[in-house]
Structure 1
Amino acid sequence: MSDLFRSDNVVVRSVPASDLSRWVVTFDNYGIGHGFDRPGFGEEFLRNAGVSAIHVMGVREDWYQYPEMAAAMQAVRQATAGAERVMTYGSSMGGYAALRFADAAGANAALAISPQYSIDPNKVPFEQRWIQDSRRIRWLPEIDGQLTCSVSPVVVFDPVGHDGLQGALIQRDIEIRPVRLPYVSHPATTYLGEVGLLQSLVLQTLSGELDVGAFNRKARQARRRSGLYIANLAQAQPDYRQSLAVSLARLSVERAPGNPLAGSTLALILSKAGEHRTAVAEIERVVAMTQNDPNYLIHYVNILVAADQPHAALPWAREVVKAWPHMAHLRAWESSVLWSVSEREEAIASVQMAIGLDPADRKYRRLLKSYQRQIAGARRVEVKRSIRRWVSGLIRGESPSAS
């Protein structure tokens, strides 16, 4: 293992195997971690598979908008010169990079799972999933401009929702070999891993042996044994099909009791249906299973609040914010829990932190104003009550100070 390139923003790390004729160049997904003291995307799997890998690691979730990326990709080209196969690979943010940097890396294959075309709000105003980062990042036209890719990449995505819109934009610019898997959600890596198809997809794309049509059929057929797929179907049900949603969610847990996504989906749907006691029990099972994973603690807090247990929810909300202190929407979310238990000053402090983290988002300022109006209204009510008590005391001949 050695670093081929290093800057304050980017590290290019080589992890060669005995076979140097094939290389996979990976890019981090969103949330893999900050800094460089960590494994690269897919590092353990590729090492165990005996595949030489180069891991391109960004210091944080900046969507690789770094001016030194050209130099970083030149280091990749030099390290893989003469190799028979070079494949870029990534999921979500990493899928974005796998497409954007395939040519610069000298790749002759690319695999992008649930990629974005862009998250620049000026280009994709529908995309809100990473809005705090998208407004923060300075988008570089040489990286985030019109997409070019001389290879025909394999692109796996759920055509339902925003990933479908992103996929359409990708296909507007380049020719792809699509694998469309409805209701597997984002990222599709989770589903492919659940049904045991992720490793074969990576290795067959690398070798050039992937039959995209056959893989697409096989991946769709595998949905019948997927708890995640059934859970996503449950979530997609409209309100008037609430009983069907509950039935599907229960089935998803029966199929995959060890899948926390299925369990959390069941808990959320039960909560929405007003079955609060059962919902709390199910989400507590998931939280225990995942050892207090903050992703599931968010659901736990929301379900406890819906069950009218905000005091029980507050410590867990604080745990979530402790794990991700830089996320503005979580600060605002914490403030709502604080407000529900009458922790007014802390609630205002939390929403002020949200404003500081993402000043462009007006909803945080609206929330702060709402708190301030409620406090002002409560004070007016209290003043009126004090005056009434004072006047009543005068009428009874009591001292005004007694009020």
Structure 2
Amino acid sequence: MFNHIIRMTEALEHIPTEPPLEIKLWRGTSDKLVVVFSGVGETAAEPPDIEFFRSATEDKQNNALFVSDHDRTWLNGDGMAEQIVDAIDQAQADTGARELHLMGNSMGGTMALLLKDKVPAKTVLSLTPQYSVDPEIIPEETRWMRFRNHIKTFRYREIFLRKTPGQEVFIVHGGTEDELRHAERFDAVDGVKHFILPDYNHKLSQRLKRKGQLDALISAALNGQPVRFRRLIERHGGMFIRRFRDKAAA
């Protein structure tokens, strides 16, 4: 297992960027380029790890960019968005990938949604994203303050979703209070499939992974299978957010 991790790490190419941004490229053989945005990570003192390697590359077939913000700014770092867009454009040119997909969990899910209209993404998968981390927008959100207090300027104060022709967006939140304070702020938009898993919390991706279901969910999103995606969500008690709201109101 340790040797496998070393080989995978050595095969990743470092893309030149300015700190605190780090981007690594995996060259696959398919016509997909999947951009994976890391969350804040498990340890504050260490940079966020690469996430979803196997599922994003679909067992090393897809090209993939792994994007890590060491300062955890939720894309608010100076020039960060521009550097990422440039890296995506260059990676598509270098790999010849015709399909672009964005995905991420938590902070990474927020970054994917903020960038979805800056690049020609075919699909976007956002797991447990934050609608905002600006205290003026969501004052009741008190998590990740160690990082949020260091954000000098909120270039992206909140997420404004809009319909983008040819693009499919999947958003999944848990049903706990800390999840719903973000989920309920997202507007209903054509082309955006927003789900709630009532019995799950912010760590829903880890739980789905332990159940052996995460790879299938990501595969359904990357391969344009919304019906399969919905059925997988429903298998775990999930539902569209509008149905969740109706049940809550009833």
Q: Could you say which TM-score interval applies, normalised by the shorter chain?
A: 0.7 to 0.9
Q: CA RMSD in A?
A: 2.5
Q: Which amino acid aligns with 1:84?
A: R
Which residue pairs with 2:90 in the alignment?
A: 78
1:220 aligns with 2:232: no
User: Which consecutive unaligned segments of at least 5 residues does structure 2 have?
Assistant: 1-11, 239-250
Q: Which amino acid aligns with 1:213?
A: R
- Take 2:187 and 2:161, find their aligned partners in 1: how far apart are those partners? 11
| TM-aligned CA distance change 1:41 to 1:32, over 3 Å | farther
Which residue pairs with 2:157 in the alignment?
A: 144
| TM-aligned CA distance change 1:163 to 1:49, over 3 Å | same
Which residue pairs with 1:206 in the alignment?
A: 222
- Please identify the structure whose Cα radius of gyration is greater: 1
| TM-aligned CA distance change 1:186 to 1:6, over 3 Å | same
1:3 aligns with 2:20: no
Which residue pairs with 2:178 in the alignment?
A: 162
Q: Which amino acid aligns with 1:188?
A: L
Higher relative contact order (CA 8 A, sep 6+): 2
Cα deviation, residue 24, structure 1: 1.1
CA contact (8 A) 1:77 1:106 kept: no
1:23 aligns with 2:36: no
Moved more, 10-19 or 63-72: 63-72
- Take 2:18 and 2:141, find their aligned partners in 1: how far apart are those partners? 30
- Take 2:195 and 2:212, find their aligned partners in 1: how far apart are those partners? 16
Cα deviation, residue 133, structure 1: 2.5
- Take 1:89 and 1:209, find their aligned partners in 2: how far apart are those partners? 15
- Take 1:173 and 1:213, find their aligned partners in 2: how far apart are those partners? 17
For 1:90, what is the secondary structure of its paired residue?
Answer: strand
Cα deviation, residue 172, structure 1: 5.8
Which residue pairs with 1:260 in the alignment?
A: none
- The structure with the largest strand share of the pair is 2
CA contact (8 A) 1:27 1:95 kept: yes
CA contact (8 A) 1:27 1:94 kept: yes
Cα deviation 1:15-60 (Å, max 9, x = unaligned): 11122x1111011111256666x75222244453422210111123
Cα deviation, residue 74, structure 1: 2.0
TM-score by length of 1: 0.49
Cα deviation, residue 64, structure 1: 2.4
- Take 2:38 and 2:91, find their aligned partners in 1: how far apart are those partners? 19
CA contact (8 A) 2:49 2:68 kept: no
Cα deviation, residue 119, structure 1: 1.2
Q: Which amino acid aligns with 2:129?
A: P
Q: Which structure 1 residue ranges, 4+ long, deviate > 6 Å from structure 2?
A: none
1:218-367 equivalence runs, <5 A: 218-220=235-237
Cα deviation, residue 167, structure 1: 1.1
Percent identity reads 20
User: Which consecutive unaligned segments of at least 5 residues does structure 1 have?
Assistant: 222-403
- The structure with the largest helix share of the pair is 1
- Take 2:233 and 2:178, find their aligned partners in 1: how far apart are those partners? 20
TM-score by length of 2: 0.77
Cα deviation 1:337-368 (Å, max 9, x = unaligned): xxxxxxxxxxxxxxxxxxxxxxxxxxxxxxxx
